[in-house]
Amino acid sequence: MLVVRSSHKPSATKRTILALIVGIILFVGSNFIDEYRIFQGAQVAAYLVGIVSIVLLTGYSGQITLGQGAFMAVGSYSAALAVQEFGLPIWITFFIAVLAAALFGAIIGISAGRLSGPYLAGATLAFAVGIPALANAIPILGGEQGLSFDIGYAPGKYADTVSPYKWLFWICALCAIIAVVIAVNITSSGLGRQWRAVRAHETAAALCGINPARSKVMAFTVSSGFAGLAGVSFSATVGLVSPSGFTLALSFLLLTGAILGGISHISGALGGAIIVVIIPTVFESWTEEASLGVATYLPGIIVSALLLLSIALAPEGPSEALHKLRRKH
């Protein structure tokens, strides 16, 4: 699905057609799956976009981020505020979330672009910690209980026949498909090549006429826009925008998903998203009868173990390992 390799890239048209087909399959498939799986599908779609945002920034542009949750929060709060304060229709708020988070990312990028490696990681970490706390302190953002963000029911006569979960899934899946198509197009465009050039060797890139600073800020901006979309999708799944939804744990979870899926390929994001959503559920149901304490902590341990294994055995992620294997044959 949407596998893009540097050696053989489908054209933009083919990609769009492929995306359409995937969309149709998901649309039809959603009618045969039970509601809880549909709900999880919506979560996977939301996490997928979040992981794509990390892959773009870290995988392609080479800038480490530990604070993607903060950019998601900016997108979500903007969307919820747009509904609450201006009564805007929900669909517009998805664009607002993207724009607001991108703008925020641009501002952060301008200053953070001067940092690299652990210093950049530290700076983004500060945002992941600070943004939820800040949101808690601003009265208009609703404190700990946050703001409501309800995507409601399917329009018109479909409100009764289409379950709210299907409706939610369709919206989140649509966002994810659009995000993946745009991300793949970006990475195979001149912009993507610039990012990779800067990641590989800044000085060499500069000698080729690329402005590394501008390229990094651009990557920050674009990645934050994706994070904003992830944030608003995530909020749609829980109907709520609150500080406790955007904890440091979320940022780490997304990064974990990105690494597990393969940080250097957009295609790995789907695997990463499935792992971070499904693994906890699977292990919880296996262990909950044994002991709730085990059920609470085991998923975290499993995911962490997978992360360590992945770093030890396939540092660029399973998807990169698979690509290498295929190239060999």
Partner 1 sequence: MIRALKKRILAGVSLLAVTGLVVSGIPAQGAATPGVTKDTITLGMSSAQSGAASPGYNKVGPAMRAYFNYINEKGGVYGRKIELKLEDDKYVPTNAVNKVNKLILRDKVFALVGNLGTATHTAALKKTPIIKQSVPDLFVNTGYSGFANPKKYPTTFMYLPSYIMEAKIMAKYIKDKFPDKKVGILYQDDDFGKDGLAGFKAGGLTFVAGGTQKYASLSQATVGLTAQMTALKSSGAEVIILFGVTSATAVAMRTAAGLGYGTTWGPQFIMGSVGADPTTLLTLAGATTPALQAATLRSLTGALSLSFLPAATDTEDEYVKKFIEINTTYNKGVPWDNNVLVGMNQALLIVQALRAAGENPTRASLISALKSKGGTFASAGYSKLESANNVGYTGYWVGRYNSTGVIAPVDGGKPVVYTTDSSTANGDVAVSTFTRPAMPADGVPTNK
Q: Which positions lie near partner 1, rule CB under 8 A? A: 13, 17, 20-21, 24-25, 27-28, 30-32, 34-36, 39, 43, 133, 136, 143-146, 148, 150, 161-162, 164-166, 237-240, 242-245, 281, 288, 292-293, 295-297
User: Shortest approach of partner 1 to residue 13 CB, angstroms?
Assistant: 8
User: Shortest approach of partner 1 to residue 215 CB, angstroms?
Assistant: 34
User: Shortest approach of partner 1 to residue 235 CB, angstroms?
Assistant: 9
Task: Compute the distance between CA of residue 204 and CA of residue 197 in angstroms, rounded to an integer.
Answer: 8
If the CB atoms of residues 164 and 191 are measured against partner 1, the closer one turns out to be 164
If the CB atoms of residues 39 and 127 are measured against partner 1, the closer one turns out to be 39
User: Shortest approach of partner 1 to residue 99 CB, angstroms?
Assistant: 24
If the CB atoms of residues 156 and 293 are measured against partner 1, the closer one turns out to be 293
If the CB atoms of residues 27 and 95 are measured against partner 1, the closer one turns out to be 27
User: Shortest approach of partner 1 to residue 157 CB, angstroms?
Assistant: 10
User: Shortest approach of partner 1 to residue 221 CB, angstroms?
Assistant: 27
Task: Compute the distance between CA of residue 3 and CA of residue 23 in angstroms, rounded to an integer.
Answer: 16
User: Shortest approach of partner 1 to residue 144 CB, angstroms?
Assistant: 5
If the CB atoms of residues 206 and 294 are measured against partner 1, the closer one turns out to be 294
If the CB atoms of residues 143 and 307 are measured against partner 1, the closer one turns out to be 143
273 — alpha (psi -120 to 50), left (phi > 0) or beta? alpha
Q: Residue 12: what residue type?
A: A
Q: In the block, which residue shows the tokens 């359409």? A: 20
Q: Residue 34: what residue type?
A: D
CB 284 within 8 A of CB 272: no
CB 278 within 8 A of CB 259: no
Q: What is the 3-state secondary structure (H, E, C) of 4-68?
A: CCCCCCCCHHHHHHHHHHHHHHHHHHHHHCCHHHHHHHHHHHHHHHHHHHHHHHHHHCCCCCCCH
If the CB atoms of residues 115 and 295 are measured against partner 1, the closer one turns out to be 295
Sign of CA dihedral 20, 82, 79, 228: positive
Task: Compute the distance between CA of residue 106 and CA of residue 227 in angstroms, rounded to an integer.
Answer: 13
Task: Compute the distance between CA of residue 43 and CA of residue 47 in angstroms, rounded to an integer.
Answer: 6
**What would the two tokens of residue 156 be?**
């018109």
Q: Residue 148 pairs with which residues in a beta bridge?
A: 240
User: Shortest approach of partner 1 to residue 254 CB, angstroms?
Assistant: 15
If the CB atoms of residues 117 and 130 are measured against partner 1, the closer one turns out to be 130
